[in-house]
Amino acid sequence: MIKIYAPASIGNVGVGFDILGAAITPINETLLGDLITIEPSNKFQLVNKGLFSSKLPKKTEENIVWKCWSKFCKVVKKNIPVSIVLEKNMPIGSGLGSSACSIVATLVAINEFCNKPLNSKELLVLMGQIEGEISGEIHYDNVAPSYLGGLQLILEDTEIISQKIPSFKHWFWVIAWPGFKVSTAAARKILPKQYKKNICIKNSRYLAGFIHASYSQQPNLAARLIQDFIAEPYRMKLLPNFLKTKEKIKKIGAISCGISGSGPTIFAISDNIKIAQKISLWLKKYYLKNETGFVHICFLDMQGARKIG
């Protein structure tokens, strides 16, 4: 029996639309991600459990886990009879890489079960393809950090898809999911087909500056440059009172904040635990819309997908 955990992630990280992604883990050691347990069987079997399992498709063939298993079997050109348990701890359509968690945990588990016929690059390519089928476009900014950990820069070079870049160990990442979903496909559809030249130049400048600040370890500069000119101006209408929330979070003391992935989760960064706790309390009181919503103070998860137990 093999048990694999894949952590949640923040896509885009504000300044890097489809180019930056960060794996996160709550400081209280809560497992914010999906778990896959796999063992031998006479035929393929799938059991769903966990806090958000009721939101999964009823038909097995529509489940992401089945899609991963089916694709993997085609790639390695053999049928793999296994029993899989998906512990769905991530809300669907949260902007925290919920589908990526399931994809990464499943493929890592199956690959491990089969004695690793695919290398890490081949596995990552497969993860991106399946993510693309779900969201409408191939993008690695959730699967790469969930798989490899840390802050990932998506290169999609002929040899290298993604690489970990330096991060700031003293940063606390506060994430808040209000308790409702936003479809990734719908959030991508809301974006314009074309952007003005000055916006493209500005975004390139901020992204390049953030990468430079990360490597030269200038946290204040890096925090100032986490600004989203590509998605946030359009996606903010999908989030409740986003601009007022952002303004309040910054008044409390956040050094940066933005929309996590497609939303509706938002993230705030603080370099002070007391300020992070104040932000967390405010978000719990004013940003959550129902009892299923949550707020976590996180560090970056540097490990990525891993065996549990």
In angstroms, rounded to a whole number, what is the distance separating the alpha carbons of residues 231 and 89? 27
In angstroms, rounded to a whole number, what is the distance separating the alpha carbons of residues 51 and 91? 8
Distance set, CA 222 to CA 13, 34, 211, 215, 286 (Å): 11, 30, 8, 10, 28
Mean per-residue pLDDT for 35-60? 94
In angstroms, rounded to a whole number, what is the distance separating the alpha carbons of residues 149 and 260? 16
Per-domain boundaries in the chain = 2-166, 172-300
* pTM metric for this prediction: 0.95
145 and 21 Cβ atoms separated by less than 8 Å: yes
Q: What are phi and psi of 45, to 5 degrees?
A: -135, 145
SS3 of 176, please? strand
For residue 251, what are its two tokens? 């008044």
Q: What is the pLDDT of residues 219-251, one digit of tens each?
A: 999 999 999 999 999 999 999 899 999 999 999
In angstroms, rounded to a whole number, what is the distance separating the alpha carbons of residues 14 and 36? 30
The yes-or-no answer to whether 2-166 and 172-300 have a common fold is no
Class of the CATH domain delimited by 172-300: alpha beta
In angstroms, rounded to a whole number, what is the distance separating the alpha carbons of residues 111 and 104? 11
Class of the CATH domain delimited by 2-166: alpha beta
Mean per-residue pLDDT for 245-274? 97
Distance set, CA 199 to CA 55, 239, 258 (Å): 38, 23, 18
171 Rama sector, left if φ>0, alpha if ψ -120 to 50, beta otherwise: beta
pLDDT score at 126: 97
- Which residue numbers belong to the known binding site? 91-101
- Which residue numbers belong to the known binding site for ATP? 91-101
Q: What is the pLDDT of residues 105-164, one digit of tens each?
A: 999 999 999 999 999 999 999 999 999 988 778 889 999 999 999 999 999 998 999 999
